[in-house]
C-alpha cells in the first residue's frame, strides 16, 4: 500500500504525517509524489504506520519504475516531434531557396536554365528525409529500440 493511501486511511494530512515521523512536510510531499526517499525517511514513515520497511521500499521502487517508463516515453515522443519539426523546416528551406533560385535564374539569365539541377538534387535529399521521417520511422525511433532491448533482456513491455 502506498504511503499516501496509508496516510489518507488514517485521515492525516501531510503535515500530521511529517510531525509524527519527524520529517519535513516537503519530504513527505516528495516521497508521495514518487521521488525516492532516503532509507532513514522511509524507516521513520514505516515506524509511524507500524509496517515493515520493505513494504514501503517496494512501493517506492514500483513508483520510480513507472516514472522512468513515463519519462522514457516522453523522451521518445519529444524525439519524434523534433524529427517532424526538422523535416518541416527542411521543406520550408527547400521551397524558399528554390523559389529564390528560380527568380534569380529567370531574372538574370533566362536563356540558361540552371535551377533545375539544384531543385532535382535537393529534391532527392528531401524525398529521402520524407521517407525517413514518415515511412521508415518505426525502425528509427526509440520505441523500436526499447522494444528490442526489452526482448533481448526477456522482460515484458
DSSP H helices, 1-157, are: 3-9, 14-21, 25-32, 39-49, 53-108, 115-130, 137-140, 142-153
This prediction has a pTM of 0.49
**pLDDT of res. 31:** 85
In a domain, 96, yes or no: yes
In a domain, 53, yes or no: no
Distance (Å, whole) CA 62 – CA 137: 31
Indicate the number of domains in the chain.
Answer: 1
pLDDT in tens, the chain (157 residues): 578 888 888 888 889 989 998 998 888 888 888 787 788 888 888 888 888 877 776 555 555 555 555 677 777 778 888 889 999 999 999 999 999 999 999 999 999 999 999 999 999 999 999 998 888 877 766 667 777 777 877 777 6
Domain encompassing residue 139:
79-156
Amino acid at each position: 500500500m502506498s504511503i499516501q493511501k496509508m496516510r489518507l486511511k488514517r485521515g492525516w494530512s501531510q503535515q500530521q504525517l511529517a510531525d509524527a515521523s519527524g520529517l519535513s512536510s516537503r519530504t513527505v510531499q516528495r516521497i508521495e509524489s514518487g521521488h525516492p526517499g532516503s532509507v532513514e525517511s522511509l524507516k521513520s514513515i514505516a515506524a509511524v504506520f507500524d509496517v515493515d520497511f520493505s513494504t514501503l521500499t517496494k512501493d517506492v521502487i514500483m513508483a520510480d519504475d513507472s516514472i522512468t517508463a513515463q519519462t522514457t516515453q516522453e523522451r521518445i515522443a519529444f524525439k519524434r516531434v523534433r524529427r517532424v519539426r526538422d523535416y518541416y523546416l527542411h521543406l520550408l528551406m527547400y521551397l524558399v531557396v528554390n523559389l529564390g533560385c528560380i527568380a534569380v535564374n529567370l531574372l538574370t539569365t533566362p536563356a540558361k536554365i540552371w535551377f533545375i539541377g539544384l531543385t532535382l538534387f535537393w529534391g532527392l535529399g528531401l524525398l529521402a528525409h520524407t521517407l525517413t521521417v514518415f515511412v521508415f520511422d518505426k525502425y528509427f525511433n526509440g520505441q523500436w529500440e526499447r522494444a528490442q532491448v526489452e526482448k533481448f533482456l526477456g522482460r515484458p513491455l
